[in-house]
Amino acid sequence: MKSSLKHFFDSMDAYLAGPPGAEGLLKLSASHPGWDVDPERMALYGQFVRGHVRSTLEKLFPLTRKAVTPETWDALVDGYTRTRPARHYELNRLGEGFAPFVSDAAAAKGLPPFLPALARFEWTDFAVFASEEDIPDAVERLTPNPTLTVLENPYRLCAFVRARGAESVPAEGEELALLWRHPERLVTFFMAATPPALLVLKMAVEGLSEEAVVQATGMSAADLHAEVVRFAKDGLVLAPASRIH
């Protein structure tokens, strides 16, 4: 191997194994005359990255942004950009660590106490929508939606998010939120868990028949079947076509 080629591979190996950021690129350029990096060009790339991070966060976390002052939002975005470098090729994934970042920054920045839970809810809303879980076209028995995600919240976030933050703060109170992607409409559905929803999910998870549940609970067969049909149509559970009528 020519010495020049060996030098190229050695320097690239050191660059790729080194820390991310401009410092490693500057060292690489210094070892190869003629590869000088234009500082203005580097600054332009940096502006592109910061702009992508900001626009992505504002798209994924609109209610989190709305819940704080513009100055506080700017500080959160700047702090996140500095400490959580954007590395994923898919722009929406830039927001994956934002909810934990908000949680870590809550006390120091005096953020509203509900903000970490709200940011987590908004990210989960997107993550469920973008889930790569395969939803089968047909099932032989009642089955939980494979995209279903459960969040325990210390606030009533389902109502707050559904109202698009019409109230200034969500009501306090423990809530078990269910989020899933509708198999046909391909959007995220969510609701605060209710006894009927949890019962139908239990049937799907444990393979319980409607007859067995009627016998165990004393519910009327018509009422139970109506709940199964309701949650199957909403996509919370998947059901054989013969059971949805």
User: What are the sequence ranges of the domains in the chain?
Assistant: 1-37, 46-130, 132-245
pLDDT averaged over every residue in the chain: 89
pLDDT in tens, 64-119: 999 999 999 999 999 999 888 777 778 899 999 999 999 999 999 999 999 999 99
* Domain 132-245 in this protein, CATH class: alpha beta
What's the token pair of residue 47? 């502006």
Distance, in Å, from the CA atom of 222 to the CA atom of 230, rounded to the nearest integer, reads: 12
3-state secondary structure of 114: coil
- Has residue 153 got a pLDDT over 60? yes
Provide φ and ψ at 78, rounded to 5°: -65, -45
Which residue has better confidence, 184 or 42?
184
Lowest mean pLDDT among 5-19, 125-139, 172-186: 5-19
- Beta 149-155 vs 188-192: how paired, if at all? unpaired
How large is the angle between the packed helices 210-217 and 195-206, nearest 10 degrees? Answer: 130
pLDDT attached to residue 183: 96
3-state secondary structure of 150: strand
Residues 168-179 have a mean pLDDT of 96
Token look-up 């109230």 returns: 167
CATH number of 46-130: 2.40.50, 1.10.287, 1.10.150, 1.10.3470? Answer: 1.10.150
Q: Which helix (H) or strand (E) holds 181?
A: strand 172-181
pLDDT attached to residue 168: 86
- Has residue 11 got a pLDDT over 90? no
Residue at 160: amino acid letter: F
pLDDT attached to residue 21: 60
pLDDT attached to residue 91: 86
- Has residue 44 got a pLDDT over 60? no
Residues 225-231 have a mean pLDDT of 97
Percent of the chain whose pLDDT exceeds 70:
86
Residue 233, C-beta contacts closer than 8 angstroms, at least 6 positions apart? 244
Residues in a beta bridge with 42: none
The sign of the dihedral angle between the CA atoms of 154, 164, 116, 88 is positive
